[in-house]
Amino acid sequence: MNAAPPRMVDCVLLKRRAPGLDRLPYPGELGQRIWKQVSKEAWQRWVAHQTMLINEYRLVPIEPKARKFLEGEMEKFFFGAGASTIDNYVEPPSK
- Tell the CATH topology of 8-79: YggX-like (1.10.3880)
pLDDT of residue 84: 67
Residues in the chain: 95
Q: Which long-range contacts (CB under 8 A, 24 or more apart) does 45-48 make?
A: 45/13, 46/74, 46/77, 46/78
Sign of CA dihedral 36, 30, 74, 80: positive
CB-count exposure of residue 63 (10 Å: 0-12, 13-18, 19+):
exposed
pTM of the predicted structure, to 2 decimals: 0.82
pLDDT digits (tens, 9 = 90+) for 4-36: 788 999 999 999 999 999 999 999 999 999 999
pLDDT digits (tens, 9 = 90+) for 59-80: 999 999 999 999 999 999 999 8
Domain ranges of the chain: 8-79
